[in-house]
């Protein structure tokens, strides 16, 4: 059975270090990162087309939010969700949020078993500038992922 662990980082360096350690522990395409695109924070989401895919290099050019993740091989794309604003998403969460255009981050996380109220909490934290990192994997490995997130400074780490 698949489970999801979610945590919040205060800095890009912490998130990058955690992702590097997760990859070294055998997690790869299960890792997702979501952060506000601070360089486009003044722009209105309604003015931006919904986009997905691309590479981390394109994420770097659209705001540099996840620049250090380029070396980790995570694909990234830019998203704009009305009411939330411009985001950079890497990993499976990018596709999840592309389909959750009207439900925002919270609506997308529900598909991964995260309760609506916790999804709204995480959405608010991303708006504040925190970096959401998640791993969706089988139950046997999810506690390892949670431990790695905590060890690297993640806060509000929860498994669902």
pTM for the full model? 0.75
**How far is residue 84's CA from residue 81's CA, in Å, rounded to a whole number?**
5
**How far is residue 24's CA from residue 144's CA, in Å, rounded to a whole number?**
12
State the 10-residue block means of pLDDT for the chain, 160 residues long: 95 92 93 80 38 34 44 57 72 69 72 89 92 94 97 96
For residue 39, the model assigns a pLDDT of: 63
The answer to whether the beta carbons of residues 150 and 140 sit under 8 Å apart is no
For residue 103, the model assigns a pLDDT of: 65
- Provide the pairing of β-strand 76-81 with 85-90: antiparallel
The answer to whether the beta carbons of residues 25 and 148 sit under 8 Å apart is yes
Burial class (CB in 10 A: 0-12, 13-18, 19+), 149: buried
**How far is residue 99's CA from residue 31's CA, in Å, rounded to a whole number?**
18
Helix (H, G, I), strand (E, B) or coil at 23: helix
SS (H, E, C) 25-73: CCCCCCEEEEEECHHHCCCCHHHCCCCCCCCHHHHHHCCCCCHHHHHHC
Contacts of 140 (CB under 8 A, 6+ apart): none
Question: Domain tally for the chain?
Answer: 1
For residue 17, the model assigns a pLDDT of: 94
**In which domain, by residue range, is 19 found?**
2-159
């Amino acid at each position: 059975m698949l489970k999801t662990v979610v945590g919040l980082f205060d800095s890009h360096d912490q998130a990058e270090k955690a992702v590097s350690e997760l990859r070294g522990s055998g997690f790869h395409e299960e890792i997702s990162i979501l952060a506000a695109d601070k360089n486009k924070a003044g722009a209105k989401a309604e003015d931006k087309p919904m986009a997905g895919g691309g590479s981390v290099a394109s994420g770097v050019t659209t705001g540099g939010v996840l620049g250090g993740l380029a070396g980790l091989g995570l694909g990234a794309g830019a998203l704009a969700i009305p009411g939330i604003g411009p985001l950079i998403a890497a990993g499976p969460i990018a596709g999840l949020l592309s389909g959750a255009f009207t439900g925002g981050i919270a609506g997308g996380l529900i598909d991964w078993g995260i309760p609506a109220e916790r999804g709204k909490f995480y959405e608010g934290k991303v708006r504040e500038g925190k970096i959401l990192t998640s791993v969706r994997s089988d139950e046997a490995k999810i506690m390892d992922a949670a431990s790695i997130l905590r060890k690297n400074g993640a806060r509000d780490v929860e498994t669902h």
